[in-house]
Amino acid sequence: MGHIREIYSEFEKRNAHVVVVMAESLPRMREFLKDNTYPFPLLSDVRREVVKAYGVYVRMNFESYNISRPAEVILDGDKTVKYSYIARIQTDFPPDEEILAVLDSLMS
């Protein structure tokens, strides 16, 4: 999320909307948000329904338990998935150029 926050102006230039879905409870998210701010909405998926539907749910691995792997998904105006990047570890994310190229292609 921090990475998306860093390049958020690029999303704004392209009139793209950003939403983050966290496999976390509202109380824990509120606590997290006391020290962290984002210019886009963060949604709670406490039942893990969304993260399971997108195939990013992790029951257990070497760095986490019952959460989701970071993922970036781009939907077009019809809510069709046009791009999906599922990270292998919590600090993994796709190159900016790759994300922005997909957004640019949707604008043309």
* DSSP per-residue string spanning 16-51: ----EEESS-HHHHHHHHTT---SS-EEE-TT-HHH
Q: What is the pTM of this model?
A: 0.81
- CA distances to 19, 48, 79, 86, 99 from 60, rounded to whole Å, are 25, 14, 30, 16, 28
3-state secondary structure of 57: strand
Residue 60 clears pLDDT 60, i.e. is over it: no
Q: Which CATH class is domain 2-107?
A: alpha beta
State the pairing for strand pair 71-75/81-86.
Answer: antiparallel
What does the mean pLDDT of the chain come to?
88
Which residues have a Cβ under 8 Å from the Cβ of 8 and sit 6 or more positions away?
18, 39, 40
Q: What pLDDT does residue 3 have?
A: 86
